Chain A
Amino acid sequence: MTFNSFSYFVFLSIVFFAFQAVAGRYRWLVLLAGSYVFYGFLLQPALLAILGFVTAFSYLAGKRIDRSEAAEKRKNLLFFSVFVNLSILVYCKYLVFLVENINLLAGLFSPGSSIPEVEPMVSIALSFFIFQAISYLADIYFRITEPEPHPGLFALYISFFPKLLQGPIERSGHLLPQLGKPYAFNYDDVRYGLLLFVWGLFLKTVVADRLAYFVDPVYDNVQAYSGIPLIMATYAYAFQLYFDFSGYTNMALGSARIFGISLTQNFKSPYLATSCTDFWRRWHISFSRWILDYIFQPLQMKWRSLGRNGTALALFVTFLLSGVWHGANWTFIAWGMLHGMFLVASTFYKPYQKKIHKILGLEKSSWHTAFQIFLTFNLVCFTYIFFRAADIQDALYIVNNMFNFHSNFLSIQNAGLKDFIIKQILSDNSKYELLILILSLATIFAVKKYNHISLFDKPLLIRWACYYCIFLGILSLHVSAKPNFIYFQF
């Protein structure tokens, strides 16, 4: 079940009451059982088996690494256990893609030869919990953390249902102590958690899914458009993706908070970033910290003799792999490479940029900051063309045609700006949707300004009025056709 379904609400209530009813020593068991039931609802027994295996294997591997003294042995154990985990991920997620591309290559060299096609496998959540297991093993190797002795708590650490499907990717040092702490019922935690959850639900079902109306018609049929519609759909997608994923993250954090667990913040106003580097400190934070700590830093360390080139290479490889992680499609790899290139460029020009800013006195200028934000946002949106497009051809079509404003006169088929506005934006349906979007965005802006916390200081009537408003808003304005979160497929 996904977070935005009535059955999840029922499930959460049952788990919550069971959690409260049970004696302290067994509370982790309730959450663990609940997590496996939650994952089981996907009706994919293979996934449950993989979760179990990865958990057991990583638990034992962690203990072995910690027990070993010799540096060489620890390293070998780490590499071996990481290799096993990654192999599972590659097999489940990337085998189809690899086979397809191998066949493509083989076809070039010796036409007619091919290895048999493979059936795609459902791989929801794998990328997240396998990465989390790897971070656990690496942290033990680096002596940043101790292995968790309690197998049940460890299993819960890996499978905890609020974060199971789409993260955040939790470090053992952050989540395990919380799971092990004795629980004391906290009314504010429950209240805040519920509010956070409902707010995330609003962002996802009312705002993100509604933005899809302005994205899908274009991206599902790019050849029919050129010029501004392509640009607008990309901007709309930037916000759809953000509200979808941060909505999910709010629901995850809210669900965990109900049980007194604080998960990692995944977003910090990402579109206010002043550079791509800054963007990655604000977007999908648990993931970017993961690739920073476990891919970038080791590579950078390894290539440190190459100086700045070493760092640049490490950045590029890291973001290339990040693209791969997001999906078995060349578009994601292209997206990763673009970010890699932007970051590589910045390592080279940043020192000069700093000096110039100092000389021109731009450091403190708010106009300059606004410009940087605008520029960064557009760079990020450019990369989204590849992230969202169905394939490379579509992405390249958009890149080639998005500034092509003249085609209305050349081709009858291409929907120019006027057509797009009339049919997509101002049609009867769309006017209504656009209005709701504008109102929602205004609400979001107000909320960001005033922050959830101050709501709890207000008298009961005002609080409850807000709750009822959000509830009614979700109930009457949610978009029902689209069930799944965008990051679900990773």
Chain B
Amino acid sequence: MTTEEILGRMTDVFRDVLDNDAIELSRETTANDIEEWDSLAHINIIVAIEQEFSLRFDLIDIKPLRNIGEFVDLIERKTS
């Protein structure tokens, strides 16, 4: 899977979980950039990403992430 593919699938997940088709993700996007991203949405997103990519995260994977780009890299590491 390429990072563009990952980003694309992530964007679908975000749009679905946050119920907003206008969301656009880039590597630099952070939680502050997306209005609907609160702590409930946060966990829902993580669970949905886990389901989408058939992965399992630990908190230690998630905590240090600072933006979407690092999230994408994490997924890439875990799926390869």
In-complex A–B contact (CB below 8 Å) = yes
Q: Is the CB of A301 within 8 A of B40?
A: no
> Interface on A for B, CB 8 Å cutoff?
71, 141-144, 277, 292-293, 296-298, 300-301, 304-305, 307-308, 310-311, 347, 350
* List of B residues within 8 angstroms of A141 by Cβ: 60
**Residue in B39, B62, B64 with the greatest tally of chain A CB atoms within 10 Å:** B39
Q: Is the CB of A304 within 8 A of B59?
A: no
Q: Is the CB of B64 within 8 A of A143?
A: yes
Shortest Cβ gap from A316 to chain B (Å):
14
Please report the number of residue pairs spanning A and B whose Cβ atoms sit closer than 8 angstroms: 39
Within 8 A of A (CB), among B4-62: 38-40, 43, 46-47, 57-60, 62
Cα–Cα distance between A90 and B63 once the two chains are bound (Å): 27
Main secondary structure of the interface of B (DSSP, over half): helix
Q: Identify which of A142, A144, A305, A350 contacts B40 (C-beta below 8 A).
A: A350
Q: Is the CB of A308 within 8 A of B40?
A: yes
Cα–Cα distance between A311 and B46 once the two chains are bound (Å): 13
* List of A residues within 8 angstroms of B39 by Cβ: 292, 296-297, 300, 311
Nearest CB to that of A301 among chain B residues?
B59
Q: Is the CB of A142 within 8 A of B43?
A: no
Cα–Cα distance between A293 and B59 once the two chains are bound (Å): 11
- Can you list 25 A-B pairs with a CB-CB distance of less than 8 A? A71-B60, A141-B60, A142-B59, A142-B60, A142-B63, A143-B60, A143-B64, A144-B63, A144-B64, A292-B39, A293-B63, A296-B39, A297-B39, A297-B59, A297-B63, A300-B43, A301-B43, A301-B57, A301-B58, A301-B62, A304-B43, A304-B46, A308-B40, A310-B43, A347-B40
* A-B interface, 10 closest residue pairs, ranked by CB to CB distance from nearest: A142-B63, A301-B59, A143-B64, A144-B64, A300-B43, A304-B47, A304-B43, A298-B59, A311-B40, A142-B64
Shortest Cβ gap from B55 to chain A (Å):
13
> Interface on B for A, CB 8 Å cutoff?
38-40, 43, 46-47, 57-60, 62-64
16 new A-B pairs (CB below 8 Å) besides A142-B63, A144-B63, A297-B63?
Answer: A142-B64, A277-B38, A292-B39, A296-B39, A297-B59, A301-B43, A301-B62, A304-B46, A305-B47, A307-B47, A308-B40, A310-B43, A311-B40, A311-B43, A347-B40, A350-B40
Nearest CB to that of A297 among chain B residues?
B59
* List of A residues within 8 angstroms of B47 by Cβ: 304-305, 307
* List of B residues within 8 angstroms of A304 by Cβ: 43, 46-47
Shortest Cβ gap from B53 to chain A (Å):
15
Cα–Cα distance between A99 and B44 once the two chains are bound (Å): 41
Shortest Cβ gap from A218 to chain B (Å):
37
Cα–Cα distance between A142 and B39 once the two chains are bound (Å): 19
Shortest Cβ gap from B26 to chain A (Å):
23
* List of B residues within 8 angstroms of A347 by Cβ: 40
* List of B residues within 8 angstroms of A301 by Cβ: 43, 46, 57-59, 62
